[in-house]
Structure 1
Amino acid sequence: MGSEPLPSRLLRSLFLFFLLSLICGSQAEITVYHDNNQAAFTTAPGASYTGPHAYDPTSLTPPPLPTPTVLTTIPINLQNAGTPNLSIKQKGSFFGFSIEMSVTNQVLGKNSSLIQVPFLNLMANIVQRAGSVMVRVGGNTQESAKLVDDGVIKNGRVLTKDLTGVTGRTQTPPLEFSRDLLYMMRNVSGLVNVHWFLGIPWFVTQPFDLKIIPAATEILGDYLLGFQAGNEPDMYSIPSHGHRNSSYGPYDYLGEFSDLLTQIDATGSDPTGQGKSKLIGPNIANFAWTPEMVWDTGFVDQFNDNLAYLAVEKYPRDNCNATFGGPGAIVADPQTLLPLYLTHDAHTQLLQPYLNSTMYAQTKNKPFLMFETNTGSCGGFLGISDSFTATLWALDYALEMAHSNFSGAMFHLGGQNVFYNVGPTPSLPLPFSSLPLLFPASPFTSPPTNQSSFHQWTVGAIYYSALVMAEIIGPSNNTQVLNYGVAGLSSFTPIYGIYENGTPVRVAIMNYLDDPTGANDVHAIISIAGATMPSSVKVKYLAAKTVVQKGGYTWANQTFGGNFESDGRLMGTEEIQTVNCDTTAQTCTVDVPAPGFALVFLNDDAFTEDKGAPSMTFATTAYTKTHNTATVDPSVLSTSNGFRKADHPIGGTSKPPSAAPRTAQAPLIAVGVVIGTIVAMLGRAL
């Protein structure tokens, strides 16, 4: 210490002086107020953003308009009956969510008694429109998760992570979880109609850890949709996750699936038989194997009585090198990739390898799922995954999957960082400063734990896609989707016809172009052969100013706001446009801005049937913090005396000194400031 430089000693002494002043010399508390429309603080010009990636304000530049110009006045000639190439019948719950198992305590709640109210509201929005929601809890972290006895995990928590035992390229931590996680899921289902997928740990197969099967079947009952049997087994071997030898192939997976069933019978782990009949496979990522390689083993026929679903997982591309690539790794440039997310052709190319399998699944009477997907694996891409681009992309992708005879798609969220919230630890290969610490592609994100008392949730771009998709499909479970492809139609303006029992009821029109002048707005001229057009149609718009906009999108003029602004309920007044039709020409012309999306309801029945259940919202029932949680209007509070708690427990925002008289005015020390951000309680009444 004697050789410590003088500046360091001075700084250390100054810090200790301030610390002692705070402890001994001051009993006052200071509250700084700011208007809701103003930032609490600003960044100096030229400073770089260093916070979590999900809240990074960095935007990309919209891609240039195509040359030559594309067709924007588009005739949409539908048929009232006999339309060819319609999809299989789809359920309103088609667009679901995949939650990485390790972050369920962030997303669902702390335990079965403390459920996240915003999550309930977000699910209730979907249920209102679709009737139910599918949610998968799993991912890489399910593969080594262990169900432990009650009482092993302390402090009322439902899971813990072993941060010293991370494995694989994605540095996945082993998990321990309690039965209370399953009770929490069951309590969620009791409030909103959520149905669940879970996974059986698959890294160790001799023996399998089967505890989750009897526990989940007992606790979740009919709310359990199925058990995933292996997560991306085609990536188990070296050089991917490294949990199998390099020769591991489809027949090895077939043998492990058989071993699972044998061990279930030998151990009596499925007393009801429900688990063995609700398995999901092969869940490959199309990395080292194709689906056909699995079908050719006889997998489906051999396990026909056990397979409730066939499933695959697919991201359009990955951003793993940005996080796990190490020195010299080639990292993708989001600006270069942006145009690839703004064209319908990208979806048809991505799904082409699965069209044979969706047809095959129908011959076996099995629903075919996209079990995990998003804009990009390993966290997505800054400026793409967290912008309006992702909203349009996911909606188009979901509609194309529905048209291609998938029976559902789960869009993945991974919590507060791309390591699925393992946080920086000495075992990680990269320094903390190099880690992108948020999952920008998440449909919704809870605030960091240390900000949960004053920040609300952030509803991401893809949740808007889910909400709109629920209205497109509706709750009838008889909806069929048609990719309306006609000669001359651009990949920038995809259109889908939505049918009920063969009759067109809605039209979904998308415009990927970015042109504020209006010159590239789409003018869709809708007609129906064999039917009389109504005098008017209703239209709901999904809107943003540009494809690179972050947050603040609107669906029929309603929004979830920006970062940290949502309790899971839509804000604003719903605005539904009425478009008059040309009864002489028997056409209705609907304009769609560039960029934007329009959902056209061709009759009143089609408009009313997209509501699947009564509106339901939830209020907080418990408080985890009772100090500095004011509930008064900020405009009133900002001009009042904040130090009134001495007169009444709820009369001020600053706690009085315990030893001070009720009328004392404690001295102020300008060495620290508490920034008070006043937010409306989650439980405010509608």
Structure 2
Amino acid sequence: MFRFLAVCLLSVSSLSYALPSITVYGPTGAERPSGASSGAEPSATGSDPGSSWINAYNAYNDVQLQPPPLPSPMPATTFPITVPSQAQNMPGLSIAQRGDFWGFSIEMSVVEQVMGKNGSFIQVPFLNLLAAVAERAGSVRIRVGGNTQETATLVDSLPDNAIIEKDKTVDTAVTNTAQTPTLLYTPELLYLLSNVSALVNAKWYLGIPMNDTSHLRLQIAEAADAILGDSVLGYQVGNEPDLYANHGHRPPTYDETDYFNEFGVVVNAVQQDAKIKSKNKLIAPSVQGQWTPEDVWNTGFLDSYGSSLDVIAMEHYPEQNCAAEFPNGGFGPIQDPQTVFPQYLTHTSSQTLVQPYLNTSFIAQQLGKEFMMFETNTASCGGFPGVSDSFGSALWAVDYGLQMAYSNFTGALLHVGGQNVSYNPFTPPPTNLSLFDQWTVGPVFYSTLFMAEALGTTNTSRVVDLLANDGNEFTPAYAIYEEHALARIALINYMNAQDGLGSYTVSLSVGGVQIGEPNDTPAQVKVKYLLAPSVSEKDQITWANQTFGGRFQADGRLSGTELVQTITCNQGANTCQIPVPAPGAALVFLSNDAQASTDPATVTFSTTAVTKAIETLAIPSSALAKSNGHSGKVPLSGTSKGSSGGATALGVPLSLTFASVLMGALLLVR
């Protein structure tokens, strides 16, 4: 099957962003005339975020927590930070980091909902969101996998031209949260990824199934090498193998040595498969904490398989909310989100999370390997409503991302599930609203923009934790050096303003740290702020005064006028006074070049037409039954410890999505 992408070129709009034309398709894929009038959008009954049935989905819950009180004793709210202007004078810098440090892990079973129906029907908001990151970072990394990759099987076709279908045959009444249904997919899934990469600079991680190493299925690597080529970054072998026994996928005695042996079976098969061109792009071991990394290394894993590995990967969630999702699952008492909320609002959280991996990050450097947190988010089993979808989670993800970069991770992926997950960076609307309403962008997505601009596009940025304010856990700060010179400072304020208190001001000095080093504080600096009214805020979040909007308000494009603050410095005193609101995060650019290297491009994708207003596709219940992806109608788990493999189907029809391309209409020719 040969395909190519045809682009109908148009003149570029004089607006601040380009408006690509759209070819509109009906439910069967037949092209329909475009040119609909620009009348008011219809509204859907029940689409009001306050509607009770909407709030039944965790992705749109109305839980809003009380912000924690101000710390007692309060940290200093005016304090100095002095940093050298040159990297050679700053000890403890990280390795050089890429701008696309934060990427996304998309559960394989929810690809149709999140990304598109097939290679011709790509979700336009999804493209816009990827573009927002790629324009700032240079590219965006995406993993398609999770627990559902372990049973994935490539087939030539599926009924109704579906690209994914799940066959759930185990008893759904069983509370074992690892029941993972068989996932069938067609090559069209890979063409979908290829066409996304043709529009946005997206690169992909995929997974080789490991549920049955006696009958390996390597087709995903064979087909992806042929269809995606260099857009494939690697193939994960084993998703959380340390939980295989707990989840009933291996005997109770299954241990690190068993995984070592099974991984060797896959390595040998890949080496002997002439259709797989990428022999050394494997990713492992992806353990989540039941085994330590050292438990795996002690088997001789790296010595035996190092030449086949490209990425050493881990998976970890700082907390789990499994008892709330599975009251009879043996997870103990249900945790109160209000009680756990403060745990996410300190620098100690990120420092604690990286601690178990510092030895492995050093080993990865010695071996010349990437070291990634391959799947993470605020909490497994769907996250905590009110925590995972709060502004506090955005501050946590900024801090956690920068702490991982400082600790020599080379990337991390925020997990994306379905409708019943509160931690999603982005969520498409429930399928019965997709004709009328739009996407919901979660707070942690803003963190990916902050991180991308903090690290820039040169792939030379080195990060250091400044342990600012005598190491106070509520006021962390990082310095980022680029091309050996100080480029940016990141300042975080976890405190929530109360009675006019909580904000702080940094007296920033550049240079003059060592004897003979000149004072290099610039005449002025530029500052972008990540802000919200409180740490518990869910909707009113802005990055440099721009926002994606609240629930059902996003098309993936930032709205509002970008506001970059200019602060005049006192070069005589060698200081710049940088205010940091409570709560909030500030990214300080020390030069015009430091800011220019992160300025986003202006091309976006416009959703200017819709499919037929009332036609839908009927999807069998088995195709919609979810495991890790959380698009089912009942609560489901995450993909870390305690993840689930099935649920009843979402009882609504699945609508078609828009089709769009950059500067033209996306046409796939067979």
Normalised by the length of structure 2, the TM-score is 0.81
CA distance in 1, matches of 2:575, 2:269: 63
Q: Deviations over 1:405-438 (max 9, x none)?
A: 000000001112xxxxxxxxxxxxxxxxxxxxx1
Q: Out of 593, 598, 607, which is 2:595 matched to? A: 607
Q: Deviations over 1:99-135 (max 9, x none)?
A: 0000000111001110000000000011110100000
- Measured at CA, do residues 219 and 489 of structure 1 come closer, stay the same or move farther in structure 2, by a change above 3 Å? same
Which secondary structure does the structure 2 equivalent of 1:286 belong to?
coil
- Measured at CA, do residues 51 and 684 of structure 1 come closer, stay the same or move farther in structure 2, by a change above 3 Å? farther
Q: Deviations over 1:492-532 (max 9, x none)?
A: 01000011133211000000000144322110111111342
CA distance in 2, matches of 1:194, 1:49: 32
Contact 2:494 2:584 in 1 (8 A): yes
Match of 2:231 in 1: 223
Match of 1:462 in 2: 444
613-622 or 61-70, larger mean C-alpha shift:
613-622
Match of 1:53 in 2: 58
CA distance in 1, matches of 2:146, 2:541: 29
- Measured at CA, do residues 84 and 178 of structure 1 come closer, stay the same or move farther in structure 2, by a change above 3 Å? same
Given the alignment of the two structures, is residue 214 of structure 1 paired with residue 229 of structure 2, yes or no?
A: no
Residue identity opposite 2:402 in structure 1: L
Given the alignment of the two structures, is residue 624 of structure 1 paired with residue 611 of structure 2, yes or no?
A: yes
Q: Out of 525, 530, 534, which is 1:546 matched to? A: 534
- Measured at CA, do residues 684 and 249 of structure 1 come closer, stay the same or move farther in structure 2, by a change above 3 Å? closer
Which secondary structure does the structure 2 equivalent of 1:305 belong to?
helix
Q: Deviations over 1:325-383 (max 9, x none)?
A: 41784111100000000001111112111001101111111110000000000100010
Given the alignment of the two structures, is residue 129 of structure 1 paired with residue 147 of structure 2, yes or no?
A: no
Provide the identity percentage: 48
Contact 1:542 1:598 in 2 (8 A): yes
Match of 2:584 in 1: 596
Contact 1:125 1:615 in 2 (8 A): no
Which secondary structure does the structure 2 equivalent of 1:496 belong to?
strand
Once the 2 structures are TM-superposed, how far is the Cα of residue 272 of structure 1 from its aligned partner?
Answer: 4.6
Q: Deviations over 1:227-281 (max 9, x none)?
A: 00100001111xx211111221111111111111233355x3x43531x210001
Contact 1:481 1:498 in 2 (8 A): yes
Residue identity opposite 1:496 in structure 2: Y
- Measured at CA, do residues 599 and 59 of structure 1 come closer, stay the same or move farther in structure 2, by a change above 3 Å? same
Q: Deviations over 1:154-189 (max 9, x none)?
A: 222210111334695243322100000000000000
Q: Out of 397, 413, 430, which is 1:410 matched to? A: 413
CA distance in 1, matches of 2:50, 2:359: 53
Match of 2:548 in 1: 560
Residue identity opposite 2:399 in structure 1: D
Alignment root-mean-square deviation, CA? 2.4
Structure 1 gaps of 5+ residues are 1-32, 417-437, 629-679
- Measured at CA, do residues 123 and 259 of structure 1 come closer, stay the same or move farther in structure 2, by a change above 3 Å? same
- Measured at CA, do residues 40 and 118 of structure 1 come closer, stay the same or move farther in structure 2, by a change above 3 Å? closer
Q: Out of 233, 242, 260, which is 2:248 matched to? A: 242
Match of 2:17 in 1: none
Which secondary structure does the structure 2 equivalent of 1:359 belong to?
helix
CA distance in 2, matches of 1:253, 1:198: 19
Contact 2:50 2:62 in 1 (8 A): no
CA distance in 1, matches of 2:340, 2:459: 36
Given the alignment of the two structures, is residue 101 of structure 1 paired with residue 108 of structure 2, yes or no?
A: yes
User: Between Structure 1 and Structure 2, whose CA radius of gyration is higher?
Assistant: 1
Contact 2:280 2:307 in 1 (8 A): yes
Once the 2 structures are TM-superposed, how far is the Cα of residue 552 of structure 1 from its aligned partner?
Answer: 2.3
- Measured at CA, do residues 622 and 40 of structure 1 come closer, stay the same or move farther in structure 2, by a change above 3 Å? closer
Match of 1:85 in 2: 92
Match of 1:650 in 2: none
Q: Deviations over 1:442-486 (max 9, x none)?
A: 000000111100010000011000111111111000000110014
Match of 1:655 in 2: none
Contact 1:144 1:175 in 2 (8 A): yes
Normalised by the length of structure 1, the TM-score is 0.79
Which secondary structure does the structure 1 equivalent of 2:81 belong to?
strand
Contact 1:200 1:228 in 2 (8 A): yes
Residue identity opposite 2:305 in structure 1: F
Match of 1:68 in 2: 73
Structure 1 segment 279-428 matched on structure 2, within 5 A: 279-287=282-290, 289-326=291-328, 329-416=332-419
Which secondary structure does the structure 2 equivalent of 1:578 belong to?
strand
Contact 1:114 1:622 in 2 (8 A): no
Once the 2 structures are TM-superposed, how far is the Cα of residue 488 of structure 1 from its aligned partner?
Answer: 2.1
Contact 2:136 2:598 in 1 (8 A): yes
Which secondary structure does the structure 2 equivalent of 1:410 belong to?
strand
Match of 2:177 in 1: 169
Contact 2:544 2:563 in 1 (8 A): yes
Match of 1:572 in 2: 560
- Measured at CA, do residues 106 and 537 of structure 1 come closer, stay the same or move farther in structure 2, by a change above 3 Å? same
Contact 1:619 1:684 in 2 (8 A): no
Which secondary structure does the structure 2 equivalent of 1:155 belong to?
helix
Which secondary structure does the structure 2 equivalent of 1:476 belong to?
coil
- Measured at CA, do residues 75 and 144 of structure 1 come closer, stay the same or move farther in structure 2, by a change above 3 Å? same
Contact 1:538 1:577 in 2 (8 A): yes
Q: Out of 108, 121, 126, which is 1:114 matched to? A: 121
Once the 2 structures are TM-superposed, how far is the Cα of residue 74 of structure 1 from its aligned partner?
Answer: 1.9
Relative contact order higher in (CA < 8 Å, ≥ 6 apart): 2
CA distance in 2, matches of 1:115, 1:203: 30
CA distance in 2, matches of 1:621, 1:184: 21
Structure 2 gaps of 5+ residues are 1-39, 512-517, 616-657, 664-670
Which secondary structure does the structure 2 equivalent of 1:259 belong to?
helix
Once the 2 structures are TM-superposed, how far is the Cα of residue 51 of structure 1 from its aligned partner?
Answer: 2.1
Figure out how many residues of one structure are paired with residues of the other and give that number.
569
Residue identity opposite 1:362 in structure 2: Q
- Measured at CA, do residues 407 and 244 of structure 1 come closer, stay the same or move farther in structure 2, by a change above 3 Å? same
CA distance in 1, matches of 2:148, 2:47: 37
Which secondary structure does the structure 2 equivalent of 1:573 belong to?
coil
Contact 1:162 1:174 in 2 (8 A): yes
452-461 or 256-265, larger mean C-alpha shift:
256-265
Contact 1:71 1:488 in 2 (8 A): no
Which secondary structure does the structure 1 equivalent of 2:265 belong to?
helix
CA distance in 2, matches of 1:450, 1:553: 27
Residue identity opposite 2:236 in structure 1: Q
Once the 2 structures are TM-superposed, how far is the Cα of residue 302 of structure 1 from its aligned partner?
Answer: 1.1
Structure 1 segment 13-24 matched on structure 2, within 5 A: none
Once the 2 structures are TM-superposed, how far is the Cα of residue 39 of structure 1 from its aligned partner?
Answer: 9.7
Q: Deviations over 1:283-327 (max 9, x none)?
A: 10012x110111122211211221011000010011112112417
Q: Deviations over 1:595-620 (max 9, x none)?
A: 01100001111111113x63221134
Contact 2:132 2:557 in 1 (8 A): yes
Q: Out of 501, 506, 509, which is 2:491 matched to? A: 509
Residue identity opposite 1:579 in structure 2: I
Match of 2:25 in 1: none
Q: Deviations over 1:563-600 (max 9, x none)?
A: 00010000101011111111220100110111011000
Contact 2:435 2:610 in 1 (8 A): no
Contact 1:518 1:593 in 2 (8 A): no
Contact 1:98 1:413 in 2 (8 A): yes
